[in-house]
Structure 1
Amino acid sequence: MDRSARPEKEKKSGISLRKKRSKMSKIKPTIGAPKLVPMPPMPGARGVGQPIAPPGAPPQVRSRDKDRVADMVKKRMSTRFTMIPGEGEDIPDIPAMPSIPAALMAGGKGGLQGPTGPTGSTLDVSAFRDPAFDPEKFVSTVLADASNEEIQDYQKRLQDIRNRASTDLQKNVFVNRTQFIIISKEIDKLKGEMRTLRSLLTDLHANTSSLKTESSFSSTASDVQARKAANRSSVADLNALHMSHLQALWKEVEGAQKFLPSVPGRHIVVDSRNWIELNAATWKARRIVHMVLLNDHLLVATVKKKRTDNNPNAGGRPMPQQIKHVAEKCWALSDIEMVDLQSNRKGVSNAINLRVGKESFVYQNDDPGKKADLLRQFKKSSDELRKAMRAETEDSMRRRDSVHFLTGRDPLLLEHGDLLNSLSAQGAGTAFFTVDGQTKNLRYIETRLDDLDEFIAHRKFDEAVAEVSSMRSLGQNLSKSNTLVSELINLKLDERSSKLASIITADLVANTGHKSVVKANITWLVKLDYEDRAREAFLEARSKLIKKRTRQVQFEGDVSAYISQIAIVQFTLIKNTVEIYNTCFDHRLASALVRWAHIHVKEYIELLDRQLETVNPESDVYKSCMDFTKSHSAMLVDAGLDFKELRRPVVRKSRARAAVGLGLQ
């Protein structure tokens, strides 16, 4: 009602806020000329008529703009931000700045950058130790603008660092070799001590358990009397008694001989019967067993009934039921753990538990005396067996450190029974001797022999020969004070010297043409007292070389040319052999050289005789061959050898005499 009444009142009064469209539509807009609209000047811009500001002067700001900026700054500074409680507690701390690799910290532009530049800078080796080191990125960064010369210089410096690091590594290995050996020996010694400690702890535990068992069950008078009777019996009777007991066991228990063959010292300790095997889970009886305890094993045999006829015997009474024992299980005492099960379970008493590895067996007997006797004898046998094994282990360790171990690698000692017996009787612990004022044992000899074997294997002949000479002198010095060690050193050195001489001789035969190599090999053989072998090997190798070179000369039809070539080859090789021989050997051995040269001269004369067999002595070919022989053999005269066969070679006499001897003349 109110809204509809208002327009009526306005119409009556003639007042309205809306314009009348009829009047506005009649007026047409007019478009005038464009006018210039004034714009406020930019900050720093000069106005009309203002002077131009100098180039370095700051821009000019109007005071109105300054006031406006100041108002905006005050408004911004006075604004308050409300924080919701607990909103910023989960915001983590600002992370630390990541470290920049040293290889990427470039100092400038142009050329190689960073501390790893190859020219005028030092290589930063620590950059290569970075786990996140990227070679491609490093090269692209460091050698980006390097020239070819700078790259080559950088590569050379890297190679130098690599070689220096390799050399340092080798030096460290050689320096620490002695420390490694000492540490390994200490570790072996510590292992032996720990093994001994463990055995002692085991003995302590066994003795404590045995004392507890003996305190619970005192030994009966019959056991004491049986022990005294056993002590009074002799060893022979005791062995015979043990053997008879084993044979009776084999007859009574089927398959016992398979588990318990006859071994010296094996005997029966306890023969316990009427045991019941229980199920370890349900504790129910399974079967009746027969347990036999020996000094090193425990045999468990099952009791089975034999099949018999139901017919009564002659008296009308039924025949008694027969049983037999069958060996089922047998264990070594060292693998068994026997535990006494106390009467803490309902219906189970006088029971024992046998633990063999992961298996567990429970046996029960109604007689507590049998259980006590079996436990006591088991503890005693286990202790004796453990002591015997420990003594055997210690004995083996002593043998390992004794002469048997030191000489075990030399089968040659087996051929010297007297020396081996002496070494075994004396032992390594008492074989001490003095070297340069220090007390040494046979380990010192073995170490030096190992070094000698290493020199021989690596073909370090100079060091090997020096070591052999040093040990020879050591053996001679000990020949008066310690004959046994001296014989052992000489015996071991003879074998290794022979091996070394064989290797050097093979090298000598393979290189007879090189004077320096031949001289070195012969010098080594002479120091090893193998001078005769060196001489024979050298002359034999030269003989083979002469034959080889002679066969390489080809005969093409001209006898004089062939004889000339043969003479040059053979006489030159003989001359070179004489020169090398005189350089390497003493002059007192020259007779062997002369004999060798004379043999080869005779062989040449025989070859010349065969070639000139069909040639006329008056012909030019014959004369030229003789002239070649005389002229070429003159080089032997210069070497100190003058044979009459070469001064006046005669090739017809020997054949003529041979014909007369055969009756062909």
Structure 2
Amino acid sequence: MSKSKAAPIPLDMTKFDDEEFNSDSYVYGILATNAEDDIKNFFTLLEAARESAASVLQKNVYRNYTEFVTISKEISKLESDMLTLRGLLNELRDVNEILRPDEPVEQIALDVSPVATELSPTEKKEGMPFVRPQEMLDFRKMQMEKLFDLIEGVQKMIPESSSRYLARDGSKTQYWEVNPSNIGGKKQCVHFFVLSDYLLVTTKKKSLISGKSKMTVDKCLKLSEIAIIDMKDSEITNAFKIMRHPNTFVYRAESPEDKRSLLAAIKRVTDAFLVPKKEPEKETKELRSSTPLLTAQSEAIAETVAAAPTKIAVVKDSISMPDAQFLFELPDELDVLIAHREFDNAVALMERGRSILVSNSVETPRVQIMKYNLEDRISRLASTLCGDLSSPICTKKQGQANIALLVKLGFGKEARDIFLTSRTKAIHHHIRLLKMDGEVASYVSDLADVVFQMIRNTCDWYKVSFHDSTMASGFMTWVRGEIIYFSEIFRRHVFYELQEFSVISDCLHRTMENCELLREAGLDLSFLIEQLLLDDVKEAINRHSKLCRDKIIECINTDNFSQVSNPKLFEDAELSKPISQSVCDFYEILMTFGSNVGVLMSIALYDKIVTSLADFFSCYLDRSLELFQNQWTPSQYNTMVFNADFVVNDLVPRVSTQLAARFERAIPELENHRQYLQNVIRKMNIIYIKQMIARLIGEFFKFQVLDYTSGGGILDTAKPSSDMIKLCEESHKILQHIPPAFKASETMKAIVEGLFELMLESVQQFILDMHFFLQLARPFISEKSTSSAHQICEKALRSFVSQNSGVTAPLKGGEWYDARVKASMQQTAKSFPEFTTTK
């Protein structure tokens, strides 16, 4: 029966149009609930959708470009029509003004323009921000009379008006008119005079009669009928256009300052009569809403201005007339500089304005207005700089320049937050570009390279951009957040997927290698990564330790305990001990575990690593002890003991030395655990003794079935029985094969003691045998063995007497037994040199 395939993952393109679409949550949801094949198919659908969207976007670009050209032409035509309509409306307004009677002098609204303030004689003498209406009208009239005398023909071109005044005198600044058809060529030198409602373009012409130069009107343009457009520097620099339907005039200034000064004066005047006056409260609210970075000081100034009385008052401050002129013109200058993105010049002017205002000691309404206007432009500039700084295409040079300007403006913390936030977005963007092709270690290596390299670059940028030491804590907080984000991705791909420990070790090793990049920059974050991943690493070590224990038990169970020829476990020494294959496999398991956890050798994992290694040694010795109780050949017994002795006395010290070098401290836990392992070897010794005794009594010297109850006397030619000879031969073999881990003399003594404890029934032949064995094995006869032998002989004699009461043959004495034993020793003892030479 075929398995039904799972339904493919649907691709809903409408989700991507949602403004609140979260790409991370969407991807996590897909990865968590679907299989790998479904995800690959879904990825193919996404690739196809992306290519389709790119194709559609390209077609839209071509189509929109054509429509854009068409719309641009329509906008140009509409602009001309609007200029014409505005001219007609202005003519209608002029007719209405002519028909309206003149207002009394007392009702004329007082103009507080910076030019009027600059030219006021009362201001020059007393330093007051406002003048009386009659004095203002007299001064304006005097200005216009001088203008009429200076410029020939101006009275014929502009109608007379009592409210007109001179906003900018351009007699000392010259400009060049440029031919629109030939941008590089100059037509004539001109001067601009800005009136409250007209723009006069004049030229100097030489009189044929007097020979003197006289200014004449070249163009008289009504401000309400023209549009002034600033031109970016390309073939011609410092240029601007004046448009009056259907004509367009192009002019060029000698310097950028001259151009900005003229444009700012025109803008100031046009704003004065085109923009209707707003109520103070409404104006304050709009200013607040239009300035996102408005400071508390600016808000207070705005409230003060809104609540200021409208009556004329005489208030003195310490700001000089040139500084006042500069501060009143500063907002327009800053608007032009910000629009042209000349931020360095704008910040320089702002700093100058701030220094002037700080030096003032009197808080007058005029000063409050100046402060408000300056703070408003500062906030606008800061908003623009912050927007540029947060842009993903902001280069290092641009970012450092913007940060430096923001710091000068007093927005250092805002610059820091925006800069670090943009770096976070850049890191996350680069992480999303990484491809996961199944190699977890390769992906983690790329991930660590991206995160740590970008943190390193951010650190370099930060040191150059922010010199204030108080900013360091914010940067470290940001670094910690990025490391936490990296750890979450690392944990998801490495630990949650239950990767093999070798893969986990490789991933951690590559991560620690990338940490060296930050250590070179003065940031050692390896401890933070270890702290964040500590619990996961411990759990991984537990899983890996369990697998290692299973392998250890398996390698012991499959071992036949035959000696391996010339095993080379260590690179620096060749092993000559008769160990078996299980020890070689056990050593490989230890080395693999040490290699895997080598990168994790931190003091936080000390207990876990040492405990795991001690558990491995216990696992091998305990299982060996269990198998030791089975029936094996003497050679296998010896190999098993050699294995245990090698593990306890060679491997444990070597592992302890290596750990001490890695942790730079002694490892007392393994030394203490070695005492427990020594007890296991002692238990094996006891089992070995019992097994040998049982083997000797059960196979070679079955004294229970020997006939020692003969009624006749023992002959003078009697010799030890053949069974005793076999017992001695096998005991000799056992002595030859006793492992070095068991002390030969101690072990043989224990075997002899065990034999005599079992031999409590015998006859005179047995007594002779005992005498012979005692004499032959004298180096291994203890007091306990002698006592048991005496008991055996006494019991044997009693048994002999009780069972053979009619025997008349006398029992032999000790001298007789000694003589017979000595004769047998001379004949047979040469076969057992170890008995006679061992001490």
Q: Answer yes or no: same fold by TM over 0.5.
A: no
Question: 1 or 2 for the larger relative contact order (CA 8 Å, sep ≥6)?
Answer: 2
With structure 2 as the length reference, what TM-score do the two structures score?
0.30
TM-score (norm: length of structure 1): 0.37
